[in-house]
Structure 1
């Protein structure tokens, strides 16, 4: 019976040892997963409790063989616990090394978070080695990106400043051109009124010439009246000649004004070309401004073409005016000759009639020429209106361009400010990089 009890006690000791081992394994897995430093202390405490309990049961058994078995089992469990303790200590040491490597990497990256791109992470054989290498590559790429942004922002700011100055000068030139065109339009309107007056006088001269023909048919009794009428015609022709001469002088002034407009158009074209060059230097950021500069250049070319047309029309008016003056002078001479013939004898009435017919024809031509000149002057006035409208659009476009360039300059300054917080290495030229 005592043997059976000792056997049962030994079985209980073995069962307790197995449970203790299982509990130790569970505790080992739980504590290792949490990476707690007290693993060795718990293992040692549990091992000590198991040993004490085994000795207590061995003392109760009072059996040498059973005691040896218990001691052997106890030693085996103790060896196994020692092995687990060594594994736990190795895991703890590895965790401590990994934790130290992670803390070192975080300390190095703290400067990067503050904008310092001159630092680099330490590449080692630890668990953070590959991460440090990737971080160094990212820092290097970020450093190059910040340097490129700095250079681009500086270039854009410098180019936009020059462009803004050129466009401002272009806007001032456009405003001056608009004022000059307004003066020319006013002069052309005055010229149109003068030409209409010439046409009206020519129509009146035609009526007088027809009256002279009628008087010539009435006979010698109306010779004196014919002479008076011719004198009146001569005076009117002289007055018409004076007005036509004044028209020629006005045409000369128009030619000078047209030359001034042509110079302004050339200057506008040059300024537009300079603006296009500056826009091309700005690259992608200046593409919108290049379109505006191209539109300004086309407007300047249209202005130049319009001034050429005006110059041609003015030359035509001058030529026609000279011919009209010559015709008027010739007509005056013929009227004087006709008056002399009428005074000499009534037999010269036929010749007077012929001269009167010629005079009527010439006056009709003068009237037609005056009407043509009035039409040409009206066309010139319309052309000047178109030029003035184009110039107004050019001025508005240049002002919009000035605002756009100002916004571009502000964007470049904002871009420089956005990357100014990064710390970069200094290159030999003195620029950040």
Structure 2
């Protein structure tokens, strides 16, 4: 009689299989949770791309406004060939910059606004689409308003003359800028709400998976216990009946189910009834006991896990029991064979999944290595961009100093020109005054000559009066004194007139010399004023060149700062990518460990199943234990 070996019970094996299926389901749920999490991150990244595009549109609009200011500046100063050329250049650059907005706005709304995870985001999505369409319409209005304004200003009109066109353009560009700000605020709000909703969704999904996992474990345990009880209870009853037979007792097995085991128990009971009727003598009882002992040896081998043996079917009543037992063993063998096949498939799939995770881990490590190299290159780019920005800032400061010095020199030259002009005008005025003085001196000479003539005539009259007074005697003596006094005054007047004439001639001579010197000085002043004006024009040309250099340096500085900002954003994005890659690597490692655990469980299950010896062909290949049967 074979000895019974202690092995895993059918209930334990069923529980292990159920728990294995539960753990596989939990693993699939974890993978699904990770996929949903990555999808939510992708949704947030898509909205971030929209925000980057709208910020790019804002930067491009600001760039167009800078060209607009330069265009308006050159439109407000007196025109010459250079001013008109630069005015046309800034107008074309402004229009080209507005044209750059068209593809940027065209890409808005095409990368992720439809991806929302809560119903409250639907209204925000509609508002976002309306803002994008309004932005496109505002850009068209700005382009339409800029064309007549640019044409009017290029034609030489002033801002006052082009006030209507300027008002339309000003309102259009303000609407565009305000709309861009509204779009930025709205998209950033959408991103914040998306992140909050994603976190809530992830939390709810995680809690749901935890609850489902716990529920599946409980349901699996309950189902395993229920199924095992449904299988083991009839087997236990049947085993009790067989044990009673081994003790020589003829008993019936309690039937509690209606499945195949119930049929076996029914056949067992019927057989026991027949045996009870057939056993009439001690020989029959002994033969029956011998058959029972042989049957129990087969059952003992089956308890040790050998399902390749079959109970011999005799011609007596116990043959029905052996036949029913063989039918049950065949069913169990088929069940265990199918279990072994499924466990092998699980092991193969686990090993295949482990190979995939190893490849993913290797790819993640390579990606992390390349991302690290990209971060180093981006850091070097930032360092170079920082040095360029510093150098361009120094160049801009030097240009500002040159501009200040040139402006100061230009102001001093302008003041010098004004002073020379004032000197020239003053000299001309003095020259005119000297000529007027000469004319007045000539008039004074004429008057002095007239006074001299009057004095001469007065002297003659005084002489005539003296003669007449002498003729009058004593009566004319008083008149004689008066005539003498008149003569003396006439002589003094004549002498004074001669002195005045000499002085006037001297003054006229000096005035002529001064006039000649002033005319020569006026010519010299005009020559110097002309030279100073030429110097002022040269300084103005230098100032224009300096302004252009300063503008170029300012553009270079702006571009360097933009490059530095873009490089910093790129480094931040690469570092975030490195963090995500590192996180993915950790998740892959955890998944690989779980897969290795599944593979170990599968190997353990297969090892447990190897305790059972199963035949591939029950009829042909299964050895049958031939026992001696007693025949009456």
The TM-score by the shorter chain falls in which range?
Answer: 0.3 to 0.5
What TM-score, normalized to structure 2? 0.32
Q: Which has the higher contact order (CA 8 A, sep 6+)?
A: 1
More helix by share: 1
What TM-score, normalized to structure 1? 0.45
Determine which structure has more spread, i.e. the larger CA radius of gyration: 2
